[in-house]
Structure 1
Amino acid sequence: MRKPLPRLAVLSVATALTTATLSACGSAGAQGSGVNVVASFYPLQFVSEQVGGEHVTVTNLTAAGAEPHDLELKPRQVADITDAQLVVFLKGFQPAVDDAVKEQAPDTSLDVAKTTELTKPEEGHEEHAEEGDHEHDHGDLDPHVWLDPTKLAEIADGVADRLAKADPDHAEDFKANAKSLGEKLTDLDSEYDDGLAKCDSRDLVTSHAAFGYLAARYDLHQVAMSGLTPESEPGSGAMKQIMDYVEEHGVTTIYYETLVSPDVAETIADKTGAKTAVLDPIEGLQKGSEDDYFSIMESNLSALREGLGCQ
């Protein structure tokens, strides 16, 4: 039978465990890991990690596989926002985050809409069937700005500036990382420009109006089945308008996205003889995915080139 530890030893072990526990609680993503950053959804997590590098720890409020529009914050997540040295979010995209930032982090947050110009949907070549159930939750501006690589590069510069304020000792690293990311995004932009230059069709029929910036950047015409939020489904009148458009313009591919049901796209494809394909708005990663922003954008380009008949 094992002898009990001497009292002094027991106290020493207990003290060590208590100290370790307190240290772990106090270091949640900050101590020894640089700036503690909270990002509201995947594209902002990606940019924060790329720009911050080894000098940041980034927490994403939106779990993989979850629709970011639907985010409801748990108390622990509100605490994360409160404790963060920097909260990176996009005002108008996730109302729960907007409310928490306003109350808990008004001085330690970065609204990326202030780092690049957001546009109205019509400026992004967006068009969707007019139906009463198509309500926009983002006011007059389209929030899906990260699908234009040049705009994501502007966001990266803004994140670098704010990280530099939080950690001045590594300001040059943040600036260099943002520049490196910007160069990669410029290369991606050129790849899209070349890949979509000569196509049989420029009509981009999508399940929801997430691709206005991409369409505007590469001279495509977005025709969306629903508005800026994927939860709004088209009514019968809107469905007919979309089917008529597909048939009249010889559209061969209906695009649906990863985190919502493909039922509507498949119904329209069945009735018009078109096929369906995935076009990812990169609002979040799927569970277990090993992809990142660049690999998904590459897959999107391949899907666009095939669906639009590009040379």
Structure 2
Amino acid sequence: MKKLMMLCSVMLLSAVFLAGCGNEDSSSSEKKSDGKLTIYTTIYPIEDFTKKIGGDNVTVKSVIPNGVDAHSFEPTTKDMLKIAKADAFIYSGAGAEGFADAANKTLKDEDVKMIKAAEGADLIAGHDDHDHEHEEEHGDEHEHGDLDPHFWLDPQRSIVMAENIKNALSELEPSKKDEFEKNFKQVKTDLEELDKKYEEAIKNAPSKEILVSHAAYGYWEDRYGIEQISVSGLSPTQEPSQKELKEIVETAEEHNIKYVIFDANVTNKIATLVRKEIGAESLTLNNMETLRDQDRENGEDYFSLMNKNLEALKKALNSK
């Protein structure tokens, strides 16, 4: 139902949006303002990689405000008009942004290139062990087989994303292709080094289980072999039943888990109860759907935040 309501909301905006486009003077277009490509993005890693690969040739703007949950964010008509006037709109295409596919349909006849950053990435299923019972008890319409959208937390899959961005920028500005390629190679090298750091740290850790407030780390399970015990599902607003909560506490105690890991953007009240119940301490991971104001002010980027995530992960895995 939530997905249907979001789709209806965006499509309702489209009627107003298209009428607005008809009244826009072509001189108001953001395309090639000051000689640069204007690119709108969604989740933070896409924004960061586009800046790194595009360099001085692009102006990159995120449509999602700082600290706002990408899963539930809905663009305004003004947002849609800005995207329509840009050279490109880059979104994950993996379900991280609830509005993106509907926006794609709305903008299909506009002169803006639509790019799925996850195109060609090996995506995994996103439902966890609690989903089916949660649906039965609460009427949740979470769809089995939904993909885990957090693919950017895997450095190797992020290389695919970076290459898609590089290819899109090269098509938009062929004269800068060599520069985009050079910048992409640097991002790729940095991602490969990051992947090795994660692999080595997790391989050498005495434990592989982490207790998290939000099931955003399935790609670490898939690549590095950790096991995430999640208090909520893929969305931070999806909470477990009383029976599921009891099972989570029992599992945490069984594995002697010393830390509950919270999202940087969301403090989940159920996860806080679990932490108190098992007497654990708290750690923070940043899933980077969006940045917080303080992250931007501190000059953080994808790599600095991933390194901070690794330090928190090592603390959790080496706590026994």
* 8 Å Cα contact 2:29/2:86 also seen in 1: no
* 8 Å Cα contact 1:38/1:59 also seen in 2: yes
Deviations 1:233-260 (A, max 9, x none): 1121111010010011211111110111
Partner of 1:87: 89
* Partner Cα distance (1:265, 1:280) in 2: 16
Alignment of 1:1-311 (within 5 A): 26=28, 28=30, 30-91=32-93, 92-105=95-108, 108-121=113-126, 127-128=129-130, 130-132=133-135, 133=138, 136=142, 140-289=146-295, 290=298, 291-309=300-318
Gap regions ≥5 residues in structure 2: 1-24
Displacement, 1:310? 7.0
SS in 1 for 2:215: coil
* Partner Cα distance (1:270, 1:48) in 2: 41
> Size of the alignment, in residue pairs?
286
* 8 Å Cα contact 1:33/1:57 also seen in 2: no
Residue 98 of structure 2 aligns with an amino acid whose one-letter code is P
Deviations 1:244-290 (A, max 9, x none): 10011211111110111242222112111222211111111111322
Displacement, 1:139? 5.2
* 8 Å Cα contact 1:128/1:223 also seen in 2: no
Partner of 1:4: none
Displacement, 1:29? 7.0
SS in 1 for 2:181: helix
Residue 190 of structure 1 aligns with an amino acid whose one-letter code is K
Residue 155 of structure 2 aligns with an amino acid whose one-letter code is P
SS in 1 for 2:260: strand
TM-score scaled by length of structure 1 = 0.85
* 8 Å Cα contact 2:72/2:98 also seen in 1: no
* Partner Cα distance (1:153, 1:172) in 2: 18
* 8 Å Cα contact 1:136/1:227 also seen in 2: no
Residue 233 of structure 1 aligns with an amino acid whose one-letter code is E
Displacement, 1:49? 0.9
Larger radius of gyration: 1
Displacement, 1:157? 0.6
* Partner Cα distance (1:257, 1:245) in 2: 20
* 8 Å Cα contact 1:206/1:224 also seen in 2: yes
Kindly tell me: are residues 288 and 138 of structure 1, through their superposed partners in 2, closer, same or farther at Cα, counting changes over 3 Å? farther
* Partner Cα distance (1:179, 1:138) in 2: 37
Runs of 4+ in 1 over 6 A off after TM superposition: none
SS in 2 for 1:36: strand
SS in 2 for 1:70: coil
Displacement, 1:95? 2.6
* Partner Cα distance (2:82, 2:169) in 1: 17
Displacement, 1:151? 0.7
* 8 Å Cα contact 2:96/2:149 also seen in 1: yes
Displacement, 1:56? 0.7
Identity %: 29
* 8 Å Cα contact 1:145/1:151 also seen in 2: yes
